[in-house]
Structure 1
Amino acid sequence: MRDAPPVLETERLRLRPLSPDDAEALHPMLADAELMTWWSSGPHASLEETRDYLRPVPEWRHWAITRRGDDSALGWVAAGAKRSGVIEVGYILGRVHWGQGIAREAVTRLLDHLFFEEGQRRVIADTDPENRASRALLESLGFTLEGILRAEWETHIGVRDTALYGLLRDEWAARSTRR
């Protein structure tokens, strides 16, 4: 089994390894039908479904997003290896926490970790082309839309396209305050 991801911190947030023990805090988010519209799976019907969903998978590392001084998970960020030097990122945040800059702060810290601490050369992200909030976050962080993959995902809302975004280490370094 892969080592647990390291704890990462920002001024307001603490990103720690996600655990099935976070199910109670995250179930309301994962049961929210509107929030889950753009997720690859539908809303969760039970706490046990959420607990099972949060079990570690070998290909991905997940960090619970928490506030410093409060260990309750607000959402998570994740990183999955695609090939040597290339990582895919993902994120989800409970709706009650939207509009506070939390997702941006958490993803920024994750990108710093991936590029500057791990030395990755490229980070990618895919999102539904209709998920305006996710696309706006990626674009504000400097990701470039690299293409639309047609009929890429079969999800609970049907077959969906993917907007594929990419960010290179040098591009991030030019924008980042941390080098």
Structure 2
Amino acid sequence: MTQDLPTPTLETERFTMRPLVPADAEALFPTLSDPDHAQFLIQAPFESVEALGDWLCDPDWNGRSWSGIDRSTGELVGRIVAVPSGEGTFEIGYGTVKHRHKQGVAVECVRRLLAYLFEEEGIHRAIAGTDPRNVASNRVLEKLGFRREAHYVESCRSHLGWCDEYYWGLLAREWRAAKPAN
């Protein structure tokens, strides 16, 4: 389905979001191989750059993936994704490299992705799922105007076992009405 949809380069004030390429695995590996960071991921920490690259660039995955690049340094600072989830709906996801946490990377990049999806592609709804214990990720969604719609108990199996999941949603009309601020 998304093979027909573009993964355009998107600009924010501080970042260029360009399509992810296999070489990006090297920059993401220190974060996605870290057990503390991976505690909120379904996937266990990666043991090699090659394994991470294979996962990031899986040809059977039906989503689109961007790498956030700091325009002032050229450093890869995060990964942002959009995955179709029913008619007019995309699930979004994001991750920031660990040494750039708490710098607003995810909020700025996901805000730009949402603007693109709602305003240029005309989607109806964006959704996201998070681990309730992941305070930082939940705060990103709150800042962007998402509403928490559900708390599913032990609904998601990760490498650490059964986990709860928050389910978040944002409608196009809510996006247009709020135009979330920084």
TM-score (norm: length of structure 2): 0.92
Letter in 2 for 1:116: E
SS in 2 for 1:5: coil
The residue that corresponds to 2:45 in the other structure is 43
Find the aligned partners of 1:34 and 1:16 in 2 and give their Cα distance.
Answer: 27
Shift of 1:177: 7.2
Runs of 5+ unmatched residues, structure 1: none
Find the aligned partners of 1:12 and 1:20 in 2 and give their Cα distance.
Answer: 23
Q: 2:145, 2:180 within 8 Å by CA — same for their partners in 1?
A: no
**Worse-matched range after superposition: 63-72 or 138-147:** 63-72
- Where in structure 1 do 4 or more consecutive aligned residues deviate above 6 Å? none
Runs of 5+ unmatched residues, structure 2: none
Shift of 1:44: 0.9
Q: 1:129, 1:161 within 8 Å by CA — same for their partners in 2?
A: yes
Identity of paired residues, percent?
39
Q: 1:2, 1:58 within 8 Å by CA — same for their partners in 2?
A: no
Alignment pair present for 1:29 and 2:34: no
The residue that corresponds to 1:83 in the other structure is 86
Alignment pair present for 1:132 and 2:135: yes
Question: How do 1:57-68 and structure 2 match up within 5 A?
Answer: 57-68=60-71
SS in 2 for 1:42: coil
The residue that corresponds to 2:8 in the other structure is 6
Once the two structures are superposed, residues 151-175 of structure 1 have per-residue CA deviations (whole angstroms, 9 ceiling, x without a partner) of: 2211111111110000011111122
SS in 1 for 2:148: strand
SS in 2 for 1:2: helix
Letter in 2 for 1:106: C
SS in 2 for 1:34: helix
